[in-house]
Structure 1
Amino acid sequence: MSRISRGSAAGVGCLSVVWILSSGSVRVWAQAPESPTDPIEGKWYGTAGFSQDRIETGFEFRRDARGELQGFVYRPVTNFYGLALPGPVKRTGTKYECLEMLVALELSGDQLVGTCGPFQEPIALERTQVLPAELPLPEFPQGPGPRWRTKLGGAIYAPAAVWGDMAYVGTTGGAFDAIRLADGSFAWHFPAGRPIHGEALVTEQAVFFACDDGWLRKLERQSGKELWRYDLGDARVGRLLPHLVHPDVPNAGEFDFDTIAPRPLLADGVLYVGSGDGSLCAVEEETGEGLWRFQTKGKIRSSAVLDGERVFVGSADQNVYAVERSLDTQVWARNTFGPSTSSPALV
């Protein structure tokens, strides 16, 4: 026969099973102590963020196999549906904290209020029976596969330039290729030697592109033969991110990847192209002779645009410039409050 009894040890309830054997001996097995139910357990939903940017946020709190209180985040805007907090939730009276996620909440009836995240965003939650669930991906009919694919041996950051039945594209592997659109085969291959991040400019006779070796090149479109090169002056300008934590490195810890380059602009026989050394260069299209250089204080990684007699270009010095193209004269500069990573748009 057996008898089930409930006892306590150090204030924690436990369940004991007492067996009385036929021999008259008694054996007792004690189960693990039960974890008391916490008033925060369950599902909560509401909003978090500052007044100008409130977003829907939810939490579910429940105990794990070890009896520790765990939290799970629901935030549809960031696709979080039950994302586990990286540490246990600690309770002090009516206050709950998860230090690893900087979550601090206080329970008041059926409401939870507090802050979350590194910016201490206000959060207000109420009990709910249902939390949002991730929507299943819709089923679409399978489309046709590619007609062909060609391996180029390096990452491609810029669009391919298309002229007639050919595509022209450079890669980070330091190669520039002409590829036949019909079957993806190579028409010709030009070894530039350093990464090419920008789109090429293609005309009926020639192809122009800038390379990280510092040269603006003109190639014969039909054969890939180099016709001239012009020194943009940025061969020593790197693309590495700043040191992550070094206290003496400006902008340490930033993650603005530098993976773009300008496409040359051609107008009236003159090429306009920015350089990593901060200059906007005007180059004679036929001979490759430099006409003028307009200097800014930051890298120029985006393409210039033209409107009549003015060239417009953005710089990493947080300005966009209007330059009189016949005189190499600044017309105006406007602060963009951030480095320019795309070309100006004319409307």
Structure 2
Amino acid sequence: MQCGVKSHLNEERECPFIITAVIRIAPPKLFLSWHGVKHPVRTRFLAVSFFTATLPLLYPQDTPAVPATSPSPELPAALKNLEGLWVGTALHQSESAEIAYEFGLYKGKLLAKEWLPKLHVFGAPVGYVAEKATGFTIPGLDLDFSIEDDHLIGEFGLTELPIRLERSNRALPTETVPPASESIPKIAWSYQAPGGIWANPVAAGSTVVVGDSGGHLQALDGTNGQRRWLFDAQSPLHGEPAVAGDAVYFLADNGRLFKVTLSSGKLIWKADLGGGGKRSLPGSPDGWDYSSAGPVVADGKIYIGGGDGTFHALDAENGKEIWKFKAGDKVRATALVTGNRVFFGSFDHYIYGLDRETGKQVWRFDTGSAVNTAPVLAEHKIVVGTRRMAARPGLFFIGCLG
């Protein structure tokens, strides 16, 4: 099956998603990931230091090359001055990366293409340039810039990443395919899911459970990839499921929490937690809201946060609410349950510590930026990451007493 995706140029594309399992020996491990086919849309997940968060993940492959020619009379005077190639460096604290933009006329607009070799981006169309009061912007990339002393000066608005470019006529690098290596594990099996896979799969014995953006939770045989059952939640799944005994718990984007059997996928109960809403892909000016909290099952209770900022404790047996706590914004990361406390982060910048039995706030800590990662415990300290990428640390070590 195929699922529709939309590129940064607002052109509809079709892209099948495949889940692939690789088995390694010594020690044996099962690795799963999803991959988009190269045509007509290339899909990339990039995990290289800071610069990962600054780029769109989807871009079309069939956009004509941007001409590096003389200014075009069809463009306004201010945009004409941008045409051509600009090369420079993007900086963040001790990190740096070569970056280039090429601007050219396409369908009566000024189209921008981006080069960032450190992240294997070579001439990716990232959007059309628009004028603004203080210079120019590429809305799809959330990049604002201006021309100062014949240099292109700008920054990524969400990350405050500064860039400084100058005109250039040199040839830009092209993508190279690494040679095949015998050390790369062979694919043991693959499974084509009905939608994109945004959250981690969960292994329970010989069963692998994974959700997709088409709203399907599916259980696969971990030895051969054959599907054992499929449950249609009728709403996208962007969070990791949780398995406890013969039960699987998972949250759908419409705010419904489900409990189904691990053995057959039969519905046991569902609870409407609220907080459902529209998602946005990375690179969107709407706030990079593309993940969901996963449920945590502990001592017969389920702990989970939602898109309306409400954190819930429910009875795992019947889905009845035990207590709830209201944070100031969305809760999109899985909580940490330890001892008599439950810890979670919110888009309101805070890490919260609650009493597990009552849901009362014990303390909260202001990180200064949206918290979109699950906290972990290390030597009696809570470790959590945030979206802060400049001016202030993005990783925090917090004592369990706050």
Q: Would you say same fold, with TM above 0.5?
A: yes
- 1:58 touches 1:131 (CA, 8 Å); kept in 2? no
Q: Does 1:282 align with 2:313?
A: yes
- 1:241 touches 1:254 (CA, 8 Å); kept in 2? no
One-letter identity of the residue aligned with 2:275: D
**Correspondence for 2:260 among 204, 212, 219:** 219
For residues 299 and 50 of structure 1, do their structure 2 counterparts lie closer, same or farther at Cα, with a shift above 3 Å needed?
A: closer
- Give the number of the structure with larger relative contact order, counting CA–CA contacts within 8 Å between residues 6 or more apart: 2
- 1:283 touches 1:290 (CA, 8 Å); kept in 2? yes
Structure 1, unpaired ranges of 5+: 1-46, 60-72, 84-99, 106-113, 125-129, 245-252
Structure 2, unpaired ranges of 5+: 1-87, 101-113, 125-137, 139-144, 156-161, 379-402
Q: Does 1:301 align with 2:332?
A: yes
TM-score (norm 2): 0.53
The equivalent of 2:270 in structure 1 is 229
Q: Does 1:191 align with 2:232?
A: yes
For residues 322 and 131 of structure 1, do their structure 2 counterparts lie closer, same or farther at Cα, with a shift above 3 Å needed?
A: same
Q: Does 1:151 align with 2:187?
A: no
Distance 1:194 1:82 in 2: 35
**Correspondence for 1:339 among 370, 389, 395:** 370
For residues 78 and 102 of structure 1, do their structure 2 counterparts lie closer, same or farther at Cα, with a shift above 3 Å needed?
A: farther
Q: Deviations over 1:191-246 (max 9, x none)?
A: 111111111111222111111232111111111111111221123x222479x9xx
Distance 2:97 2:191 in 1: 45
Distance 2:115 2:228 in 1: 53
Q: Does 1:272 align with 2:303?
A: yes
The equivalent of 2:24 in structure 1 is none
- 1:55 touches 1:77 (CA, 8 Å); kept in 2? no
Distance 1:342 1:115 in 2: 37
- 2:120 touches 2:175 (CA, 8 Å); kept in 1? no
- 2:295 touches 2:334 (CA, 8 Å); kept in 1? yes
One-letter identity of the residue aligned with 1:221: L
The equivalent of 2:359 in structure 1 is 328
Deviation, structure 1 residue 116: 3.8
Q: Which moved more, 1:254-263 or 1:133-142?
A: 133-142
For residues 103 and 134 of structure 1, do their structure 2 counterparts lie closer, same or farther at Cα, with a shift above 3 Å needed?
A: farther
The equivalent of 2:153 in structure 1 is 117
Q: Deviations over 1:32-82 (max 9, x none)?
A: xxxxxxxxxxxxxxx9688966858799xxxxxxxxxxxxx9987677999
- 1:115 touches 1:121 (CA, 8 Å); kept in 2? no
**Correspondence for 2:179 among 120, 139, 152:** 139
The equivalent of 1:160 in structure 2 is 201
Distance 2:262 2:99 in 1: 59
Q: Deviations over 1:100-153 (max 9, x none)?
A: 985555xxxxxxxx85412697799xxxxx999789765341535422222221
For residues 137 and 330 of structure 1, do their structure 2 counterparts lie closer, same or farther at Cα, with a shift above 3 Å needed?
A: same
Deviation, structure 1 residue 277: 1.3
Aligned length: 251
Distance 2:99 2:308 in 1: 48
Structure with larger Rg: 1
**Correspondence for 2:278 among 222, 238, 253:** 238
- 1:74 touches 1:131 (CA, 8 Å); kept in 2? no
Distance 1:164 1:262 in 2: 23
Distance 2:210 2:163 in 1: 46
RMSD, aligned CA = 3.8
TM-score (norm 1): 0.61
Deviation, structure 1 residue 159: 1.3
- 1:206 touches 1:219 (CA, 8 Å); kept in 2? yes
Q: Deviations over 1:249-304 (max 9, x none)?
A: xxxx7253222111111111111011111111001111211100011121111000
One-letter identity of the residue aligned with 2:342: V
